[in-house]
Amino acid sequence: MGTQVKVERFTSATAAQVKSAGFDFVRFGVWVNAMQTAAYQKRIGAAFAAAQEADLPVLVTVRSTIALVPPSSNESDRNAQLRDVAKQLTSVVRSLVSAYGNNVLAIELWNEPDLATYWPTGNSDTTFPIYMQAVCAGLKPIHRSVPVVGFGFARAPARGSQSDKLLESIRASSAHCIDAVSYHAYGMSELQIQHASKYIRSRYCLPALITEWGISSRGKEGLTGQAAHINSFLMGRESLNTPLISIYEWQDSVNGKNARERNFGLLDALGTRKPAFGAALTALHSQ
């Protein structure tokens, strides 16, 4: 059981709080396009240092926040550019593993590529497989030492879904690239999560991981509703057939696009504990 944190405010004190709450790891993102600046590299280094100080391994989600290639009507040129830019991601992963490998729980490739918002590189049906096949080829040496999971889908793969289509499109590569399929389980019931795990295992021979699950305190049930759902989910985690789960998220954000998205935290934006924190604490220390 882990929780998502933001690198820009993840300190040693925060890491100690996360650890004492009962979480086993933290998840945070590293943006390939931002790693070109020394300031961002320093921020990532500080986040890893804080996690290591608290003995918290890191699930690192690596992706770009900008389009990988410009629009092009020439398919061969676009595909060549995608293969070339894949080297940037593999280079970042190699540098992370080299610098922080002892504290890397796993590398997660991308985040919600089944949504256009997080795959701003044209039609994912055609661009995703070209890019990820090149990424997988470049990560073969890394794969021997650090687990690699993919691809943080917004929806659990199910027959005919977009996430299922993307997995199928790189099936030959993924068998030598990823050790597990990761997805986000917002709003899913226990039975739906169990079915997703069974489907992924039977179709792809890989375990299913939940790298985001959470509930906002700005929904119709408010703070008490968030706490109740957090407690119920964590208390039932043993029945989910899911070996790794990351809660979204540790602390409310200040830059979400709406009130709902800004209030998924166990703590509020100022660091004050919400009822959800107490619910998580009780559940995590009960088993």
268 near 222, Cβ under 8 Å? no
Neighbours of 16 (CB within 10 A): 15
15 near 55, Cβ under 8 Å? no
Q: What is the mean pLDDT of the chain?
A: 95
E strands present in the chain: 2-4, 25-31, 58-63, 104-109, 148-153, 180-184, 208-213, 245-247
Helix pair 162-169, 124-138: axis angle to 10 deg: 40
Pair of tokens at residue 256? 């979400």
Phi–psi pair at 117, nearest 5 degrees: -60, -40
Report the Cα–Cα distance between both ends of the chain, in Å, rounded: 12
Phi–psi pair at 87, nearest 5 degrees: -65, -30
DSSP state of 179: S
Domains and CATH numbers, the chain: 2-212 (3.20.20.80)
Q: What would the pLDDT profile of 110-121 be if each residue is shown by its tens digit?
A: 999 999 999 999
* Whether the predicted model's global pTM rises above the 0.85 cut: yes
User: Residue 287: pLDDT band by 50, 70, 90 thresholds?
Assistant: low
DSSP state of 272: P
Q: What would the pLDDT profile of 19-58 be if each residue is shown by its tens digit?
A: 999 999 999 999 999 999 999 999 999 999 999 999 999 9
